[in-house]
Amino acid sequence: MKPQGWYRDPFGVHEDRYFSDGNPTKLVRDGTAEAYDEPPPGPLPGPLVEIPPSEPEGSSGLRRADDCESSPGGVGKRKPVMPVIEDPAAFYGPVN
């Protein structure tokens, strides 16, 4: 299986480098900053060290705005702003 994803930069230029189909790409990462930097020419100088998938540093448990279900204790569950009107005549009055 060819390496795919983030690995420690085997060239030692950056903290991490993205690999696609077994090849180093220009996408690099140092801390939380991502940038482009072409890999040096030539073969890889050493073995690849895979980075375990995890939340990015400093994410502080970010969630999607529409992810109310995973809220602890139900905090953040959305409630309707207005009640559902089943009988428009009761709300607007009789229609002539």
According to DSSP, residue 54 is labeled: -
Tokens of 46: 């050493």
Among 51, 52, 75, residue whose Cα is nearest residue 63: 75
> Could you report the per-residue pLDDT of 32-90, keeping only the tens digit for each?
899 999 999 999 998 999 887 765 555 555 566 666 555 555 555 566 666 666 776 76
Return the pLDDT at 36.
Answer: 97
Q: Picking from 12-16, 17-21, 73-77, which range would have the lowest pLDDT averaged per residue?
A: 73-77
30 closest CA partner among 2, 61, 3, 51: 51
HSE toward the beta carbon, residue 13, CA cutoff 13 A: 16
From CA 5, how far away is CA 23, in angstroms rounded? Answer: 10
Res 7: pLDDT: 95
Instruction: For the beta carbon of residue 24, count every other beta carbon within 10 angstroms.
Output: 20
| Per-residue confidence (pLDDT) for residue 52, from 0 to 100 | 79
Domain spans in the chain, listed from the N-terminal domain onward: 1-51
